[in-house]
Amino acid sequence: MILAIDGPAASGKGTLAKRLAAHFNLPHLDTGLLYRGVAMVLLDRGEALTDEDAAERAAQSLSPALLTDSRLRDRAMGEAASVVAAQPRVRAALVAFQRAFAAAPEGAVLDGRDIGTVVCPAADVKLFVTAAPEVRARRRALELSNRGEPSDEAEILADIRIRDARDASRTDAPLRAAPDAQVLDTSDLTVDEVFAKALALIAIAIQDCTHTRP
Ligand code: CDP
């Protein structure tokens, strides 16, 4: 079973994806970490985020060991990731890695921006997790302050709006729900409620595909 979980920054897709992976005993890939990883390599080397040749090289040689670096979760890295993620050659280099991960025999849970639209268009279940920008800014501020990072909610909201606009307006794999995705608005839901709703949507989707498959 392949579960594709997409959505904008701090919508709760990562928390949901982790929980679904544990529940179904499936491997989980937070694909945002790949883009954050490319950005981190460029910043560490003093190369420009907009240098497509350098970004493509970094994407092609991204080491899985680097994906555990705690700096990847910094707020600035999310912004930098969104700049490199707009580059088609970076996306092309990272799609292969994501598809290989999704090809695990038992299936996988992947979360990101384009899993249901580009990386795994044939996923068994597609969820598009979203929430109001103000709610997402509050959640991200809490997450950052729990990690000891400065967390000005107004600044975070401004960042989120810029990043949403950049992610949704890029020409290659823009952030959007796949036509066959179930939209899950988490603005007024607790983590447990989101999980319960997702399980219900998955149960329906799986039933539908067993009915339609010969
Ligand atoms: O956790 P948060 O939602 O803030 O960010 P993330 O999922 O780690 O993604 C960071 C950035 O990487 C996003 O703003 C996107 O620009 C990019 N990204 C992407 O383009 N495609 C993906 N499948 C995942 C992330």
Residue nearest atom 6 in ligand 1 by C-alpha distance:
32
Expressed in angstroms and rounded, the spacing between residue 209 Cα and the centre of ligand 1 is 29
Tens of pLDDT, residues 124-173 = 999 999 999 999 999 999 988 998 888 899 999 999 999 899 889 988 88
Average pLDDT over residues 79-101: 95
Supply the pLDDT for residue 151.
84
pLDDT digits (tens, 9 = 90+) for 177-205: 999 999 999 999 999 999 999 999 999 88
pTM of the model: 0.92
Using CA atoms, how far apart are residues 112 and 31, in angstroms rounded to an integer? 5
pLDDT in the model for residue 68: 92
The pLDDT score that the predictor gives to residue 177 is 94
Determine the pLDDT at residue 208. 75
User: Are the beta carbons of 2 and 104 closer than 8 angstroms?
Assistant: no
Pairing of strands 2-6, 182-185: unpaired
- Give pLDDT, residue 3: 98
Residue 213 has pLDDT above 70, yes or no: no
* Percentage of the chain modeled with pLDDT above 70: 97
Statement: residue 50 has pLDDT above 80: yes
In this structure, what token pair is assigned to residue 158? 């401004």
Q: Is 12's C-beta closer than 6 angstroms to any atom of ligand 1?
A: no
Q: Which is the closest atom of ligand 1 to the Cα of 114? A: 23
